[in-house]
Chains A and B, each alone.
Chain A
């Protein structure tokens, strides 16, 4: 009744091709952005900001990265954690070598290192696909993990073997390190995530995104339409790894504060993969849904039952989380392979015709 596009006529192709062609969607996005920018930081407590909002945004970006590769270009990757690690370690090295350059520049640059790594491990995708490719991304995962442990230069020969984030300032405000408050960190993360999400959306709705989807849906036909598989696949690997790298750098600099190599293990790869699957492969909004769901579920499971008087051990909560997520993955693949994003879409369609059952 209220959510419908009746009467909104498009008179130009440009108007028809905008991201949110429906007025109500534009209003909705504006409201969400307003809440994220002007409400959340002033309402939420420190725990919510540090332990939920910040990692959620960062992981959503990593999920977008994986989704570009797996959801849009159709190349399965199990090496997300490794590529995130490349970004994190690159950023750490940059920040310690050039401490005077603004940290945001380092964060955005570190993605380029991850992109380069992604291109190298994406090269085999020209000859192999599907399951075989999953193995080469596993090779990347384990190889990078090994590098983070065995190459002391990467962690500046710290005795602990971990990277520790130095305290850096941006425009006079401390944004990294133990002294940084959660609100400045949140704003930096939010700005980067919004910026990159918009840029990715632009890529996806243009020529390059279409080429990725062509390769995903029918690679032979794509080639016969003039798509060069080399460029299409490697650009997907590069963009995907770039996003993962930036997410990895932010993960350490704005969330963890210090990281051991195990922070970027294959567990992280799977976590991000699950976010992409549950959220919906081939959907940007789904990345945010998936990241929120998978990140918040364990927190709820740990905190929820005690609140209603059921004691639950931290371990048990972890086990139950793992079971629930595993079962949900299977259930979603069976019932709704396009994930939460598709449920969202169905909900919107229902809303369009509400209060009638169908149009």
Chain B
């Protein structure tokens, strides 16, 4: 059971981009709810193969940004270019079909289903047998089911959750639920993986585990990752580049070191007023 996962099995093929090329570009995006501005004129890009962190204080618009990227919200202005295709409006299932998967801030697993079924759910887009074959559950439909099961089992091995394979996820502790959710997103073999606070509410050990999984996913499968996280230590350690939002605007963008040195970012986090004699 413990054989190593062959990275080629789970890697997302066919997006035709070399490491370091721009995978996703957000250009001048603004999002409003009625009169409330959630995001104002934000632009940044995500490059193939990197771990890109999006940070910022509460209410900075980070989750809204993810929602825009995977089509759950439609921005009033601006465009998103993913794998060279520019789009203004896209339905979430289309975003999923184009290779974007994500996890959620408050675990959004399918509570009534087992771990296995949840991760199988992530393979929805890889299964195509039609209604009649499904009715018979025989021949092609069964073969397809088993081929996908094999992929899912690889993910289960990779995330070390074999023991909870047939447990309904509603009964799992929070840390494991987060891990199953990561597995479900991985099962889609995405070219871009969005993680919304993957370590929220975890203890140190669980955080270390999760960090290791994220780094492994990135290096073994070559998956590009964009993550939102509040734990600065984790963010600075694992991400290649960081974009900083505050009140729906972008205030910093660059490598962790550049961001750490950015005066706007320091002010936003420490609450210093812009007069230099602020109390720090």
Contact = CB atoms under 8 A, between A and B. Distances in A.
Interface in B72-96: 72, 91-93, 95-96
Interface residues of A, number: 30
Nearest to B98: A226
Query: Helix, strand, loop or mixed for chain B's interface?
Result: helix
Interface stretch (B12-20, B133-141, B155-163, B258-266): B133-141
A234 to B, nearest CB: 12
Question: DSSP class of A's interface residues: helix, strand, loop or mixed?
Answer: helix
Contact of B124 (A12, A203, A205, A207): A207
Contact of B135 (A17, A202, A225): A202
A248 to B, nearest CB: 21
A144 B150 CA distance: 47
Contact of A13 (B92, B101, B112, B146): B146
A211 B137 CA distance: 16
Interface in A191-233: 199, 202-203, 205-208, 210-211, 213-214, 216-218, 220-229
Contacts of A17: 145-146, 149
A207 B127 contact: yes
A241 interface: no
Residues of B in contact with A, size category: 35 or more
Contact of A202 (B93, B101, B108, B137): B137
Interface string B186-218: 001000000000000000000000000000000
Interface string A68-91: 000000000000000000000000
A224 B70 contact: yes
A359 interface: no
A206 B134 contact: yes
B145 A217 contact: no
Nearest to A218: B108
B270 to A, nearest CB: 35
Given A17-B146, A224-B96, A225-B121, A217 B113 contact: yes
A220 B108 contact: yes
Interface in B113-139: 113, 117, 120-122, 124-125, 127, 129, 131, 134-137
Given A224-B93, A224-B96, A225-B121, 8 more contacts: A13-B146, A203-B131, A203-B134, A203-B135, A207-B145, A216-B112, A217-B111, A226-B125
